[in-house]
């Protein structure tokens, strides 16, 4: 049963390309993406448009546990969080698949959330998605919804991450150790 306290979670996941996306188009997308990332000048409009077209096609590609096990695992984690918390949980991806994080936050708000807490399994500092992309996205949502509290539960204390990882490792130890 989902709690009706008007708080929702958004699980901000990385995302992965589908395994059955046409290889030639995948190659083309990543070549254009690399050129855009490291190029000295902006991509010419036709190349930028093509990269965007391929990105939209990839994001909308039908997903299943075989062609995108990461996608399936993301929704499995969301279901476990929803079960554990009793709250609405939406999933959003930074890249490669829909919905994006912004759309997931918007869905939570449309579902009645007056407070949205964005969580991510990206544990450590140093990644552009966790440090730059997600905060920018949340700033845009806050501008559109000043009456909704949108919180980002990140970065995590290093000590808490260490305890979490050790608990997973400790679970494998022989009790005689």
37 and 115 both lie in a single domain: no
Indicate whether 2 belongs to any domain.
no
pLDDT, tens only, 36-67: 888 766 889 999 999 999 999 999 999 999 99
46 and 133 both lie in a single domain: no
**What pLDDT is recorded for position 42?**
82
- 165's CB contacts (< 8 A; 6+ apart) are none
Indicate whether 176 belongs to any domain.
no
79 and 52 both lie in a single domain: no
Indicate whether 96 belongs to any domain.
yes
pLDDT, tens only, 84-93: 999 999 999 9
54 and 117 both lie in a single domain: no
Average pLDDT, whole number, for the chain?
94
CATH number at residue 151: 3.40.50.1400
**What pLDDT is recorded for position 39?**
72
CB 86 within 8 A of CB 3: yes
44 and 11 both lie in a single domain: no
73 and 134 both lie in a single domain: yes
In this model, does residue 3 exceed pLDDT 60? no
Indicate whether 160 belongs to any domain.
yes
In this model, does residue 4 exceed pLDDT 70? no
CB hemisphere CA count around 125 (13 angstroms): 4
Say how many domains are in the chain. 2
77 and 142 both lie in a single domain: yes
- Angstrom CA distances, 74 to 12, 26, 58, 70, 139, stand at 9, 22, 17, 6, 24
**What pLDDT is recorded for position 37?**
84
**What pLDDT is recorded for position 158?**
95
84 and 139 both lie in a single domain: yes
pTM for the full model?
0.90
Give the domain extent around 44: 23-60
120 and 156 both lie in a single domain: yes
In this model, does residue 94 exceed pLDDT 80? yes
pLDDT, tens only, 118-175: 999 999 999 999 999 999 999 999 999 999 999 999 999 999 999 999 999 999 997 7
Indicate whether 101 belongs to any domain.
yes
What's the pLDDT band for 2 if we cut at 50, 70, 90?
A: very low
- 9's CB contacts (< 8 A; 6+ apart) are 81, 82, 85, 87, 88, 89, 90, 108, 116, 117, 118, 119
């Amino acid at each position: 049963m989902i709690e009706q306290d008007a708080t929702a979670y958004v699980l901000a996941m990385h995302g992965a390309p589908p395994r059955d996306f046409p290889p030639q188009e995948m190659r083309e997308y990543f070549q254009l993406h690399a050129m855009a990332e490291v190029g000295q000048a902006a991509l010419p409009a036709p190349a930028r448009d093509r990269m965007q077209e391929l990105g939209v096609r990839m994001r909308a590609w039908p997903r299943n546990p075989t062609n995108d096990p990461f996608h399936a695992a993301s929704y499995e984690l969301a279901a476990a969080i929803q079960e554990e918390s009793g709250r609405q949980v939406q999933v959003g991806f930074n890249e490669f698949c829909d919905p994006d994080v912004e759309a997931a936050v918007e869905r939570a708000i449309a579902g009645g959330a007056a407070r949205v807490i964005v969580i991510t399994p990206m544990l450590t500092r140093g990644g552009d998605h966790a440090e730059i992309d997600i905060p920018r996205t949340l700033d845009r949502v806050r501008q559109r919804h000043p009456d909704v509290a949108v919180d980002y539960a990140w970065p995590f204390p290093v000590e808490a991450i260490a305890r979490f990882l050790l608990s997973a490792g400790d679970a494998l130890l022989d009790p005689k150790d």
